Amino acid sequence: MTRRGGWAPASRPPAVGVAVTVAVALAVAGCGGSNATSADQLRSQAAHACTAAKRKLDRIPPPTVPSDGAMFLRRGIAGLSPEVTALTRLHPAGELQPAFSRARTAIEQELKALQSALKGLKAGNDAVVAIKTLQAQLVPLEKRARTAWMELKIPACADA
Protein backbone atom coordinates (compact mmCIF):
# COMPACT_ATOMS: atom_id res chain seq x y z
CA MET A 1 0.00 0.00 0.00
CA THR A 2 1.13 3.52 -0.61
CA ARG A 3 1.11 6.14 2.10
CA ARG A 4 -2.05 7.64 0.69
CA GLY A 5 -3.94 4.38 0.96
CA GLY A 6 -3.71 3.19 -2.66
CA TRP A 7 -2.24 -0.16 -3.67
CA ALA A 8 1.35 -0.13 -4.79
CA PRO A 9 1.80 -2.31 -7.87
CA ALA A 10 4.37 -4.73 -6.38
CA SER A 11 2.79 -5.12 -2.95
CA ARG A 12 0.01 -7.41 -1.79
CA PRO A 13 -2.86 -6.51 0.51
CA PRO A 14 -1.98 -6.71 4.22
CA ALA A 15 -4.64 -9.37 4.78
CA VAL A 16 -2.80 -11.72 2.41
CA GLY A 17 0.41 -11.34 4.41
CA VAL A 18 -1.43 -12.07 7.66
CA ALA A 19 -3.17 -15.06 6.06
CA VAL A 20 0.14 -16.46 4.85
CA THR A 21 1.69 -15.99 8.29
CA VAL A 22 -1.25 -17.70 9.99
CA ALA A 23 -1.21 -20.56 7.47
CA VAL A 24 2.52 -21.15 8.01
CA ALA A 25 2.08 -21.06 11.79
CA LEU A 26 -0.78 -23.55 11.63
CA ALA A 27 1.18 -25.84 9.34
CA VAL A 28 4.17 -25.82 11.67
CA ALA A 29 1.94 -26.43 14.71
CA GLY A 30 0.16 -29.25 12.89
CA CYS A 31 3.41 -31.12 12.40
CA GLY A 32 3.10 -32.63 15.85
CA GLY A 33 3.94 -29.71 18.07
CA SER A 34 0.77 -28.43 19.68
CA ASN A 35 -1.47 -31.51 19.46
CA ALA A 36 1.00 -33.85 21.13
CA THR A 37 0.47 -34.68 24.78
CA SER A 38 3.63 -34.39 26.89
CA ALA A 39 4.67 -37.27 29.14
CA ASP A 40 3.59 -35.37 32.27
CA GLN A 41 0.25 -34.40 30.72
CA LEU A 42 -0.31 -37.96 29.58
CA ARG A 43 0.38 -39.39 33.01
CA SER A 44 -1.77 -36.82 34.78
CA GLN A 45 -4.74 -36.93 32.40
CA ALA A 46 -4.72 -40.70 31.95
CA ALA A 47 -4.45 -41.24 35.70
CA HIS A 48 -7.38 -38.89 36.25
CA ALA A 49 -9.54 -40.75 33.69
CA CYS A 50 -8.61 -44.17 35.08
CA THR A 51 -9.17 -43.14 38.69
CA ALA A 52 -12.61 -41.71 37.89
CA ALA A 53 -13.57 -44.90 36.04
CA LYS A 54 -12.26 -47.10 38.85
CA ARG A 55 -14.37 -45.21 41.40
CA LYS A 56 -17.49 -45.76 39.31
CA LEU A 57 -16.73 -49.39 38.53
CA ASP A 58 -15.90 -50.23 42.15
CA ARG A 59 -19.38 -49.11 43.20
CA ILE A 60 -21.09 -51.64 40.92
CA PRO A 61 -22.18 -54.68 42.90
CA PRO A 62 -21.64 -58.00 41.15
CA PRO A 63 -24.84 -59.67 40.00
CA THR A 64 -26.23 -62.08 42.58
CA VAL A 65 -28.84 -63.57 40.27
CA PRO A 66 -28.73 -64.04 36.49
CA SER A 67 -31.46 -61.46 35.94
CA ASP A 68 -29.08 -58.77 37.32
CA GLY A 69 -26.57 -59.43 34.51
CA ALA A 70 -27.88 -56.82 32.08
CA MET A 71 -27.94 -54.08 34.73
CA PHE A 72 -24.42 -55.03 35.79
CA LEU A 73 -23.19 -54.72 32.19
CA ARG A 74 -25.03 -51.43 31.57
CA ARG A 75 -23.44 -49.92 34.66
CA GLY A 76 -20.03 -51.25 33.62
CA ILE A 77 -20.42 -49.70 30.17
CA ALA A 78 -21.49 -46.40 31.75
CA GLY A 79 -18.43 -46.49 34.02
CA LEU A 80 -15.93 -47.37 31.32
CA SER A 81 -17.20 -45.20 28.44
CA PRO A 82 -15.97 -41.84 29.85
CA GLU A 83 -12.50 -43.34 30.39
CA VAL A 84 -12.34 -44.47 26.76
CA THR A 85 -13.51 -41.04 25.61
CA ALA A 86 -10.91 -39.27 27.75
CA LEU A 87 -8.09 -41.56 26.61
CA THR A 88 -9.06 -41.07 22.97
CA ARG A 89 -8.44 -37.34 23.39
CA LEU A 90 -4.81 -37.91 24.41
CA HIS A 91 -2.15 -37.98 21.72
CA PRO A 92 1.26 -38.78 23.17
CA ALA A 93 4.26 -38.17 21.00
CA GLY A 94 7.32 -40.19 20.29
CA GLU A 95 8.29 -43.15 22.39
CA LEU A 96 5.14 -43.05 24.55
CA GLN A 97 2.78 -43.54 21.63
CA PRO A 98 3.14 -47.32 21.03
CA ALA A 99 2.53 -48.33 24.66
CA PHE A 100 -0.30 -45.84 25.00
CA SER A 101 -1.88 -47.16 21.84
CA ARG A 102 -1.73 -50.72 23.23
CA ALA A 103 -3.28 -49.63 26.52
CA ARG A 104 -6.03 -47.55 24.92
CA THR A 105 -6.85 -50.30 22.41
CA ALA A 106 -7.14 -52.88 25.19
CA ILE A 107 -9.51 -50.60 27.16
CA GLU A 108 -11.57 -49.99 24.01
CA GLN A 109 -11.76 -53.75 23.46
CA GLU A 110 -12.89 -54.24 27.06
CA LEU A 111 -15.72 -51.78 26.44
CA LYS A 112 -16.67 -53.56 23.22
CA ALA A 113 -16.70 -56.89 25.05
CA LEU A 114 -19.09 -55.46 27.65
CA GLN A 115 -21.31 -54.05 24.91
CA SER A 116 -21.29 -57.36 23.05
CA ALA A 117 -22.22 -59.29 26.19
CA LEU A 118 -25.10 -56.90 26.85
CA LYS A 119 -26.29 -57.26 23.27
CA GLY A 120 -26.19 -61.03 23.73
CA LEU A 121 -28.25 -60.85 26.90
CA LYS A 122 -30.81 -58.68 25.15
CA ALA A 123 -30.98 -61.32 22.40
CA GLY A 124 -31.76 -63.98 24.99
CA ASN A 125 -28.34 -65.49 25.71
CA ASP A 126 -27.92 -67.27 29.03
CA ALA A 127 -26.69 -64.71 31.60
CA VAL A 128 -24.37 -67.10 33.43
CA VAL A 129 -22.68 -68.21 30.20
CA ALA A 130 -22.48 -64.60 28.95
CA ILE A 131 -20.78 -63.36 32.14
CA LYS A 132 -18.34 -66.28 32.23
CA THR A 133 -17.50 -65.75 28.56
CA LEU A 134 -17.01 -62.05 29.24
CA GLN A 135 -14.66 -62.78 32.13
CA ALA A 136 -12.57 -65.03 29.88
CA GLN A 137 -12.40 -62.28 27.24
CA LEU A 138 -11.45 -59.58 29.74
CA VAL A 139 -8.52 -61.38 31.39
CA PRO A 140 -6.06 -61.05 28.47
CA LEU A 141 -7.25 -57.52 27.68
CA GLU A 142 -6.74 -56.40 31.26
CA LYS A 143 -3.29 -57.99 31.30
CA ARG A 144 -2.35 -56.25 28.04
CA ALA A 145 -3.58 -52.90 29.35
CA ARG A 146 -1.82 -53.35 32.72
CA THR A 147 1.50 -54.16 31.04
CA ALA A 148 1.26 -51.08 28.82
CA TRP A 149 0.25 -48.79 31.70
CA MET A 150 3.20 -50.02 33.75
CA GLU A 151 5.50 -49.38 30.80
CA LEU A 152 4.12 -45.83 30.68
CA LYS A 153 4.60 -45.45 34.46
CA ILE A 154 0.90 -44.81 35.07
CA PRO A 155 0.10 -47.07 38.04
CA ALA A 156 -3.33 -45.48 38.56
CA CYS A 157 -4.37 -47.03 35.24
CA ALA A 158 -2.49 -50.28 35.77
CA ASP A 159 -4.33 -50.83 39.04
CA ALA A 160 -7.72 -49.75 37.71
pLDDT digits (tens, 9 = 90+) for 2-43: 333 433 334 434 443 333 333 333 333 344 445 789 999 999
Task: State the virtual CA torsion across 66, 56, 107, 81 in degrees, nearest 10.
Answer: 90
* Number of CB atoms found within 10 A of residue 127's CB: 19
pLDDT value for 74: 97
Q: Where are the domains of the chain?
A: 1-35, 37-158
pLDDT value for 23: 36
**Strand, helix or coil at 10?**
coil
pLDDT value for 93: 86
**Strand, helix or coil at 9?**
coil
Which residues of the chain carry a pLDDT beneath 70? Answer: 1-34
pLDDT value for 34: 52
75, 48 contact by CB (below 8 A)? no
